[in-house]
Amino acid sequence: MSFTYLMELPKPSEIKKKYPLPEKLAALKAERDQMISDVITGKDNRFLVIIGPCSADNEDAVCDYVSRLAPIAEEVKDKVIIIPRIYTNKPRTTGEGYKGIASQPDPEKKPDMLAGLIAMRDMHIRAIAESNLTCADEMLYPENWGYVEDLLSYVAIGARSVEDQQHRLTVSGFDVASGMKNPTSGDFTVMLNSVYAAQHPHHFVYRSHEVETSGNPLTHVVLRGAVSKHGNCVQNYHYEDIMRLIEKYNKMDLVNPAAIIDANHSNSNKQYAEQIRIVKEVMHNRKISPDIHRMIKGVMIESYIEPGSQKIGDGIYGKSITDPCLGWEDSKRLIYDIAEMNV
């Protein structure tokens, strides 16, 4: 019924000093951040594809995957901006199970938070260096932002975090595109309120400091489907859903209206192969509706080297140990299809 304080962790500034981002890669991140910002603000008509494993569980496999994206990103760069997913924290509905490399660098061993912070930073820096692609991560723990703030070009706030005040206020201090997912209930108003909060300045306590933030105009929504009171998945990527979102967006004092469609989770009922069909429906709806074309700026896809998922300890290289993912060949074809359909 109490806390046991095991050790004091290094400050973000200490970790960043020991594991710095090289100056050349920092310049690359600034360039990529601006490109993504231009898409969110409507200055750039390219389409964002945020794609990668459900959880970044193995540095070699994840960096291999991201490096495979690099030549494709170059091929489709006139139509698509690829943002690899390197999700180092894994939310758990019940609190049980693998919580991500930031907590547990080796999924088969006990948690090690210090080693996790280092592994998280190492993996992101290595991925950028090997691919020239800066990545996305989910901010599950707001106090960890300082450890990766100089590395990420996109941040997602998950369905279970989006109603939390500390997450909303922390995002208001970010300077990169940040997607607020709809809560598991599917309530659009809750999601849009989180965007409103994050787009405005705040005064609060963060990591034992009194801070002020300026607001993040690049905050937007992510539609990931919902769960009904009966436990059934309810999709929210269809034409009618987006038109309803546009109507609600227009009633709020928000800048840069934008939405990303998460093709997995409750939108696919975790049937990972359905992501292909869902993405193509989204692209079709953008084609037939100028309003939807302006609103939908990208998609999220869960993808890895091998399709499906495995149990921890099975040892299959490049296969998810959490939610099932599309395999590499299907993912590659889907990226080319997205580029072709972005007209």
Q: 143 near 102, Cβ under 8 Å?
A: no
**Placement of tokens 């972005």 in the chain:** 342
Q: What is the pLDDT of residue 75?
A: 98
From the CB of residue 14, how many other CB atoms can be counted at a distance below 10 Å? 11
Distance CA 261, CA 284 (A): 13
Distance CA 263, CA 258 (A): 16
- Per-residue pLDDT 10s for the chain (343 aa) are 689 999 999 999 999 999 999 999 999 999 999 999 999 999 999 999 999 999 999 999 999 999 999 999 999 999 999 999 999 998 877 778 899 999 999 999 999 999 999 999 999 999 999 999 999 999 999 999 999 999 999 999 999 999 999 999 999 999 999 999 999 999 999 999 999 999 999 999 999 999 999 999 999 999 999 999 999 999 999 999 999 999 999 999 899 999 999 999 999 999 999 999 999 999 999 999 999 999 999 999 999 999 999 999 999 999 999 999 999 999 999 999 999 999 9
The kind and range of the H/E element at 300 are strand 296-302
Q: What are phi and psi of 168, to 5 degrees?
A: -60, -45
Q: What is the pLDDT of residue 97?
A: 84
Specify the 3-state DSSP secondary structure of 39. Answer: helix
Strand 219-223 with 259-262, pairing: parallel
In our burial notation (b when 16+ CB lie closer than 10 A, e otherwise), range 162-178 reads bbeeebbbbbbbbebbb
Q: What is the pLDDT of residue 81?
A: 99
Has domain 24-158+229-244+253-341 been given CATH number 3.40.1580.10? no
Q: What is the pLDDT of residue 223?
A: 98
Would you list the domain boundaries of the chain?
24-158+229-244+253-341
Q: What is the pLDDT of residue 1?
A: 62
Sheet containing 135-138: which strands, arranged edge to edge? 80-84, 47-52, 296-302, 259-262, 219-223, 177-181, 152-157, 135-138
**Placement of tokens 């302006």 in the chain:** 294
- Name the nearest CA neighbour of 198 among 248, 146, 148, 256: 256
